[in-house]
Structure 1
Amino acid sequence: MTSEELAQIGARRVIADADRGFPCRISLEDARAGESLILLNHVSHDVANPFRTAYAIYVREQACEPEPWIDSLPPVFAGRALSLRGFDAQGMLCDAALAQPEETEEKIRALFENPQVAGIHAHNAAHGCFAARIERD
């Protein structure tokens, strides 16, 4: 899409100016300096209740299919404090945790010990943008 076409849908093209700080929501890796990304609004929690959530995300222009990270943490979590939000089957927030980088896996496991938690949404704690959805296996 051209810059004008992107602007019509509220998105824009950006060039990463560092190897960190531009987390792609498809590959779940940070873009490298010089890579082109699309910055757009994304509804990460599309529910008909007060917890419906939308925020800005980055997507690498060359990203194709999402990488399934099963029983392991994606690279984009490394070195980031995360807000972990546990939602029940109706999409209502029922539990949450703040995870420092070295605590992420432990905090995810603890949230899933709550039988009400159907899924977890990870958000970057500092900037608040959606990082990934974590599902029960």
Structure 2
Amino acid sequence: MSIKFTAIPTEIANSWRNGGADAQGLLPEHRISDGSAPCRHCLKNIHEGKGVLLGAYKPFQSTGAFSEIGPIFICEDNCQRFESENGALPPVIAEREQFLIRGYSADEKIDYRTGQIVKVKELPEQAEKIFAYQNVAFIHIRSAAYSCFTTRIDRAN
């Protein structure tokens, strides 16, 4: 099995850039990057001194106990959405040490067998193990320190 990393939709990033509200109904906050802000659209760190938008994001379609809303950063300027090639790690993942990962069912419920802190070098192998559970439809990668949504892992076609 192969995996792919799925960045936030371009429609969300463009909406924020064009004055649209975030998942809390608020306008995203403008900041200047210190070089450590990870864009959830291009999946690269936003260079120091560049504009950043900080807003609330809900990486789920449904609303319920598991549909968390949390802070994310995106590049204030247009950026190219990350497209996964052959399961290659996005730069924002490859440049960090570890992440929290957990699998979700198609109805967006956490599979409690799957949550773990994973070293980046073990991420693809652990994702494939999680996808071995038939009910797991997708995996979230979240910051190990803050648990903020980073990106999603899907099965590659």
Q: TM-score, normalised by structure 1?
A: 0.85
Could you tell me how far 1:17 is from its partner in structure 2?
A: 1.7
Does the 8 Å CA contact 1:10/1:41 hold for their aligned counterparts? no
Could you tell me how far 1:96 is from its partner in structure 2?
A: 2.2
Q: Aligned-residue CA RMSD in angstroms?
A: 2.3
Does the 8 Å CA contact 1:89/1:118 hold for their aligned counterparts? yes
Could you tell me how far 1:64 is from its partner in structure 2?
A: 3.8
Aligned to 1:110: 129
Aligned to 2:99: 82
Q: 1:63 to 1:128 in 2, by over 3 A?
A: farther
Could you tell me how far 1:10 is from its partner in structure 2?
A: 4.3
One-letter amino acid of the structure 2 residue matched with residue 22 of structure 1: A
Aligned to 1:13: 30
- Bigger RCO (CA 8 Å, 6+ sep): 2
Pairing 1:33–2:52 present:
no
One-letter amino acid of the structure 2 residue matched with residue 62 of structure 1: D
Q: 1:63 to 1:107 in 2, by over 3 A?
A: farther
Structure 1 CA distance for aligned equivalents of residues 69 and 133 of structure 2? 25
Could you tell me how far 1:112 is from its partner in structure 2?
A: 1.2
Q: Which runs of 5+ in 2 are unaligned?
A: 1-15
Aligned to 1:124: 143
Determine helix, strand or coil for the equivalent of 2:136. coil
How many residue pairs get aligned? The number is 133
Percent of aligned pairs sharing the same letter: 26
Pairing 1:72–2:91 present:
no
